[in-house]
C-alpha cells in the first residue's frame, strides 16, 4: 500500500486568489493538488484549462498536480496539460474513443496516467488496463460539482478495486474523489483508498492545517 496522500481540490478554493490558496493548502500539509477540469459538455460546469496549470507553476507551485479531466473529447488537449506542468492526468473512459490509446498518450507525455470510474460505472475495464495506469480514481459523487454527499455503495467498489490492484503486480494508486470529510475518511481508508481528494471539507474550513491533520489522524487509525 502506498503512503496516504491528501489532494485538496482547488475547485472549492477562492478562485480570485488561486495561487495563494494553493500555496496555503500545501503549507498546511497537503501532498498533491487536485485540479478538476470541466468543459460544460462532458459535465455541466466549466473550470480550468492548461493556462491555469501553467499559471500555478509560474507562481512557484512545485507539488504534484493531479489533473482530473472531465472533458470530451479528451486526447487533443492532453499534451497541452502535460506541457503546462501536470503530473497525473486522469480521464473518464466514456470520454475517450480508445482508452488504451489515451493512456499511452498520457505516458508518452511523461505524465502518470489513470482512469476514472463514475459511481455507477462498473470496474469491468480495470483488469485490461492495469499495465497502462499509475492511478485509479473512483468517483464517490457524480462529477460536476464540489460539496456533494459521499455515495456509500462506493465503499464496496473501493474494496473490490483494492483487491484487483493488490492481486496485480503493478504499482497503482487508488484515489477517491467526492464527499470526503474528516468523519468518513477513516472508513474510506479502511476500504482501501490511499489517495484522498477533498475540496469543500478543506477549503470551507478556517484552518486548513488542522483539517488536514485531523484527516491524517483518521487515516492512521484505519491503518492500525
Ligand atoms: C467533482 C470533482 C471533485 C470535487 C470534490 O466533479 O471531481 O474533485 O471537487 O469536492 P468535494 O470534496 O467538495 O466533494
Ligand atoms: Zn476531481
- In the chain the domains, ranked by start, together with CATH numbers, are 5-223 (3.20.20.70)
Percentage of the chain surpassing pLDDT 90?
98
Band the pLDDT of 223: cuts 50, 70, 90: confident
Ligand that lies nearest to the alpha carbon of residue 11, given by its number in the listed order? 1
What the block records as the C-alpha cell of 25 is: 493548502
Band the pLDDT of 217: cuts 50, 70, 90: very high
Which distant-in-sequence residues (6+ apart) come within 8 Å of 124 by Cβ?
A: none
The catalytic position among 36, 39, 66, 134 is 36
Query: What burial class does residue 54 get, using C-beta atoms within 10 Å of its C-beta: 0-12 exposed, 13-18 middle, 19+ buried?
Result: middle
Ligand that lies nearest to the alpha carbon of residue 144, given by its number in the listed order? 1
Residue 224 has pLDDT above 90, yes or no: no
From 8, 9, 183, the mutation candidate for ligand 1 (largest count of ligand atoms within 8 A of CB) is 9
Please give the average per-residue pLDDT across 186-210, as a whole number.
Answer: 98
Continuous segment of H or E residues that includes residue 38: strand 33-38
- Per-residue pLDDT of 88-128, as tens digits, reads 999 999 999 999 999 999 999 999 999 999 999 999 999 99
Amino acid at each position: 500500500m502506498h503512503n496516504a496522500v491528501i489532494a485538496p481540490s482547488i475547485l472549492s478554493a477562492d478562485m480570485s486568489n488561486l495561487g495563494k490558496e494553493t500555496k496555503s493548502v500545501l503549507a498546511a500539509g497537503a501532498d498533491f493538488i487536485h485540479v478538476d477540469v470541466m468543459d460544460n459538455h462532458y459535465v455541466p460546469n466549466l473550470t480550468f484549462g492548461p493556462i491555469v496549470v501553467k499559471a500555478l507553476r509560474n507562481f512557484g507551485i512545485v507539488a504534484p498536480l493531479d489533473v482530473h479531466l472531465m472533458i470530451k473529447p479528451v486526447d487533443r488537449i492532453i499534451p497541452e496539460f502535460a506541457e503546462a506542468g501536470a503530473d497525473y492526468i486522469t480521464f473518464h473512459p466514456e470520454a475517450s474513443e480508445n482508452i488504451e490509446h489515451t493512456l499511452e498518450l498520457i505516458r508518452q507525455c511523461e505524465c502518470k496516467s489513470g482512469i476514472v470510474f463514475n459511481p455507477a460505472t462498473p470496474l469491468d475495464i480495470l483488469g485490461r488496463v492495469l499495465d497502462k495506469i499509475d492511478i485509479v480514481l473512483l468517483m464517490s459523487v457524480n462529477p460536476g460539482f464540489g460539496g456533494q454527499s459521499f455515495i456509500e455503495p462506493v465503499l464496496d467498489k473501493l474494496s473490490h478495486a483494492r483487491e484487483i490492484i493488490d492481486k496485480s503486480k503493478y504499482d497503482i494508486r487508488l484515489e477517491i474523489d467526492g464527499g470526503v470529510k474528516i468523519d468518513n475518511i477513516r472508513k474510506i481508508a479502511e476500504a482501501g483508498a490511499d489517495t484522498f481528494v477533498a475540496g469543500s471539507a478543506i477549503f470551507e474550513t478556517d484552518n486548513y492545517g488542522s483539517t488536514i491533520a485531523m484527516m491524517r489522524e483518521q487515516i492512521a487509525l484505519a491503518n492500525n
